[in-house]
């Protein structure tokens, strides 16, 4: 065991006997991932990452954990695999047989038509965003604030 976690953390895990998933019964994010207070870091963190670190140490630099079981609330370290962000998006959740993440990464332009280039793109919360659109929104926001003052 790499890190110890409080009993209250372990008490929020419910093993699912058929799939082998360790289902998180505590707080869930809007996307279904478990979240828990990490006293060591002084902030709320994804439960599956806390569990991974408990068993395996830190997630390798430049990698993120993919749920091989496709169950976001699963915290079983054996169901997690460190992969690149691009690979995690490629594997993405499947709906109707179509890999939505792969479709998103195949797009070359933002919804307003600005090209996704290295200079014009940033990633926030796992999603690509257009720097040009961000600048336009910020200019509009500043103008509104000036008018309202």
Q: Which CATH class is domain 1-94?
A: alpha beta
| Lowest-confidence pick of 24-28, 66-70, 84-88, 109-113 | 84-88
Give yes or no for residue 97 having a pLDDT over 70.
no
Place of tokens 């280039």: 117
Mean pLDDT value across residues 114-121: 94
Entry pTM:
0.61
Distance CA 120, CA 41 (A): 33
What are 62-76's pLDDT values in tens digits?
999 999 888 899 999
pLDDT category at 45 given cuts 50, 70, 90 is very high
**Helix-, strand-, coil-residue percentages of the chain, each rounded to 5:** 35, 25, 40
Count of alpha carbons within 13 angstroms of residue 8, beta-carbon side:
7
Q: Which residues of 60-91 are buried (b: 16+ CB within 10 A; e: fewer)?
A: eeeebbbbebebbbbbbbebbbbbeeeebbeb
Domain extent listing, the chain: 1-94, 107-149
Please give the C-alpha separations between residue 139 and each of 129, 136, 145, in angstroms, as whole numbers. Answer: 17, 5, 10
Backbone angles phi, psi at 23, to 5 degrees: -80, 130
Distance CA 141, CA 102 (A): 33
């Amino acid at each position: 065991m790499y890190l110890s976690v409080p009993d209250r953390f372990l008490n929020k895990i419910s093993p699912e006997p058929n799939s082998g998933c360790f289902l998180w019964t505590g707080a869930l994010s809007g996307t279904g991932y478990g979240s828990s207070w990490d006293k060591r870091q002084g902030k709320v963190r994804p439960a599956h990452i806390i569990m991974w670190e408990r068993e395996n140490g830190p997630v390798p630099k430049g990698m993120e954990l993919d749920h091989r079981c496709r169950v976001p609330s699963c915290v079983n370290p054996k169901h997690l695999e460190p992969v690149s962000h691009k690979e995690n998006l490629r594997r993405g959740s499947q709906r109707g047989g179509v890999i939505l993440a792969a479709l998103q990464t195949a797009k070359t332009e933002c919804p307003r038509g600005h090209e996704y280039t290295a200079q014009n793109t940033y990633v926030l919360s796992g999603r690509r965003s257009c720097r040009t659109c961000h600048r336009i929104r910020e200019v509009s926001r500043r103008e509104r604030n000036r008018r309202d003052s």
